[in-house]
């Protein structure tokens, strides 16, 4: 069986996304945590802080991943690079944290489970 590896660069979303992320994370998860998500369905991602990344799937669906411990390098103004192996990105998969301007690498962290959310209704 041939294994295909894709390296993907995911740009950090602008800080203006934070209020929507705050509203989203105040909601209730919509289902059980998923072990893997397929990268092709992800429309964007936002690094919330050094422990949380939110992936937007579209149609009001999001996934929250609380990353492994000791990921102090993860910040909203940085970017992550993932390596997708056939099924997508999975809980426990490593990713690199980089600064896109200086191209400086800040280390490797790991994804936690991907908890699905639906966008809360605006009130």
38-84 pLDDT, tens per residue? 888 888 888 988 899 999 988 878 899 999 777 888 988 899 998 87
CA-to-CA separations, 30 to 48, 104, 113, in angstroms, rounded:
19, 36, 14
pLDDT at 110: 93
Nearest partner of 27 among 55, 69, 61, judged by Cα:
61
pLDDT at 18: 53
92 backbone dihedrals φ, ψ, rounded to 5°: 95, -10
pLDDT at 20: 63
Q: Take residue 38 and report the two structure tokens written for it.
A: 């397929």
Q: CA 86 from chain center: how many Å?
A: 18
**Residue 82: beta bridge partners?**
8, 95
């Amino acid at each position: 069986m041939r294994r295909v590896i894709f390296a993907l660069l995911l740009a950090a979303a602008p800080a203006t996304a934070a209020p929507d992320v705050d509203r989203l994370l105040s909601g209730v998860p919509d289902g059980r945590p998923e072990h893997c998500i397929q990268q092709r369905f992800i429309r964007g991602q936002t690094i919330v802080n050094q422990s949380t990344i939110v992936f937007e799937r579209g149609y009001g669906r999001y996934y929250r991943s609380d990353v492994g411990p000791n990921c102090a390098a993860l910040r909203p103004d940085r970017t992550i690079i993932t390596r997708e192996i056939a099924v997508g990105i999975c809980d426990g998969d490593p990713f690199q944290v980089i600064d896109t301007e200086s191209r400086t690498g800040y280390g490797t962290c790991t994804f936690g489970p991907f908890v699905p959310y639906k966008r809360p209704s605006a009130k």
